[in-house]
């Protein structure tokens, strides 16, 4: 059973309210990935920089997905903005260089973006550092 993402596009008087084919196609692709995430746990990512979209289509997709509760920025090699959309499981992620230029932009369909989770090697390093610190403190107390 296919469910539609509800779309409400407002336009200026005299302008068409029909959703462009690119926005509608993207909405169906996102819905398909969202249903797979729900049914199987399979995640997906759509590289927006690789898609040939007109600026209106890009903004139409952004407007259609809306804003959710989470909107945070990480300082990596430049700011990375992670924004939850109005639809749980759909994230808008934008990696920006130090010069302000957008380097990568994705829609990720996942419970939470993978790069936010600690990686196994990071966890092993953290355990080693905490163990070393505790050992040093216990030696200093003796």
Q: Is residue 85 part of a domain?
A: yes
Q: Is residue 60 part of a domain?
A: yes
Beta bridge partners of 92: 83, 107
Q: Is residue 10 part of a domain?
A: no
pLDDT digits (tens, 9 = 90+) for 70-84: 999 998 888 999 999
Q: Is residue 4 part of a domain?
A: no
Pairing of strands 44-47, 71-75: unpaired
105: helix, strand or coil: strand
Average pLDDT of the chain?
85
Q: Is residue 123 part of a domain?
A: no
The per-residue pLDDT for 118 is: 82
**φ and ψ at 83, to 5 degrees?**
-125, 120
Confidence of residue 114 (pLDDT cuts 50, 70, 90): confident
Q: Is residue 90 part of a domain?
A: yes
The per-residue pLDDT for 10 is: 43
| pLDDT(111) > 90 | yes
Give the other-Cβ count within 10 Å of 107's Cβ: 21
Q: Is residue 129 part of a domain?
A: no
Q: Is residue 130 part of a domain?
A: no
Mean pLDDT of 92-96: 95
| Whole-prediction pTM | 0.72
Question: How many domains are there within the chain?
Answer: 1
Domain ranges, residue 51: 21-117
Mean pLDDT of 104-119: 89
H or E segment at 41?
A: none
| pLDDT(126) > 90 | yes
The per-residue pLDDT for 119 is: 82
CATH code for position 72: 3.30.1370.140
């Amino acid at each position: 059973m296919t469910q539609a993402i509800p779309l409400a596009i407002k336009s200026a008087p005299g302008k068409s309210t029909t959703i462009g084919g690119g926005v509608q196609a993207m909405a169906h692709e996102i819905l398909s990935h969202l249903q797979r995430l729900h049914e199987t746990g399979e995640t997906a990512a759509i590289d927006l920089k690789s898609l040939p979209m007109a600026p209106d289509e890009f903004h139409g997709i952004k407007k259609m997905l809306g804003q959710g509760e989470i909107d945070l920025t990480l300082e990596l090699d430049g700011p990375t903005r992670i924004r939850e959309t109005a639809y749980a499981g759909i994230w808008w992620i934008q990696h920006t260089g130090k010069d302000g230029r957008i380097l990568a932009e994705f829609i990720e369909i996942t419970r939470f973006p993978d790069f936010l989770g600690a990686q196994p090697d990071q966890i092993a390093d953290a355990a080693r550092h905490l163990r070393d610190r505790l050992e040093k403190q216990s030696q200093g107390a003796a």
